[in-house]
């Protein structure tokens, strides 16, 4: 599943471009530069002061964007009001936090101004839906469709909708190849 994460990466919130993302890209570049010069794995890991497992994880990945992941958020008190917030910010992006807070409090919001502020500044209002980890998507795919809740079925469809489908089963072809040959690495 992680090997195909780039296929559905655009369905969740975008990866952050903070300090951690920059450090990840720089480290990936350093590792691939050393490998390109023919330096041995253990020597590279020692030069960069990295554990061998970490070094190998970076070395396996073809492009650094696969290592930069979107943040994983837990559900918050603001989630039920996301549609209202999105609509208000689309019509008037300059609406103050205090005004938005007053509006959603009328709708039943019981959280704080600070929580709303963090929610908005993290870009969670604009995200289409929460990001799914490969493990969570795998669990949804392996669950019988009739046992999934409607929002889970929608997430599975949104995540796998971009993948080319098999004509007989309707399943994404890449996932069928993976299931047919579980021990073989797919690239």
Beta bridge partners of 165: 172
CA dist 108 and 124 (Å) reads 19
**Interval 31-52: pLDDT, tens:** 999 999 999 989 989 999 999 9
CB atoms within 10 A of CB 26: 11
**Interval 85-110: pLDDT, tens:** 988 888 888 888 899 999 999 999 99
CA distances from 45 to 53, 54, 83, 137, 158 (A): 9, 8, 47, 32, 39
Q: Contact at 8 Å (CB) between 170 and 145? A: no
Per DSSP, which regions of the chain are E strands? Answer: none
Q: Say whether 149 sits in a helix, a strand or coil.
A: coil
In the chain, where the domains are located = 17-66, 79-121
CA dist 44 and 41 (Å) reads 5
> In angstroms, what is the C-alpha Rg of the chain?
21
Sign of the C-alpha dihedral computed for residues 164, 16, 133 and 85 taken in this order? negative
pLDDT at 99: 92
The pTM assigned to this predicted structure is 0.42
**Interval 124-176: pLDDT, tens:** 777 655 556 667 777 887 787 788 888 788 777 777 766 666 655 566 655 65
Find where tokens 């650094």 sit.
64
């Amino acid at each position: 599943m992680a090997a195909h994460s780039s296929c559905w990466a655009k369905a969740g919130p975008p990866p952050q471009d903070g300090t951690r993302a920059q450090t990840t890209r720089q480290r990936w570049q350093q590792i691939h530069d050393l490998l390109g010069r023919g330096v041995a794995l253990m020597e590279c890991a020692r030069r960069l002061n990295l554990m061998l497992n970490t070094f190998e994880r970076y070395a396996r990945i073809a492009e650094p964007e696969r290592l930069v992941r979107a943040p994983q958020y837990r559900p918050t008190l603001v989630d039920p009001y996301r549609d209202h917030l999105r609509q208000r910010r689309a019509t008037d992006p300059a609406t103050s936090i205090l005004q938005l807070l007053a509006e959603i409090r009328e709708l039943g919001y019981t959280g704080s101004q600070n929580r709303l502020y963090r929610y908005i500044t993290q870009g969670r209002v604009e995200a289409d839906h929460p990001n799914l980890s490969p493990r969570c998507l795998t669990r949804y795919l392996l669950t019988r469709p009739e046992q999934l809740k409607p929002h889970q079925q929608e997430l599975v469809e949104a995540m796998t909708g971009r993948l080319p489908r098999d004509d007989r089963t309707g399943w994404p072809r890449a996932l069928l190849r993976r299931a047919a040959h579980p021990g073989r690495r797919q690239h």
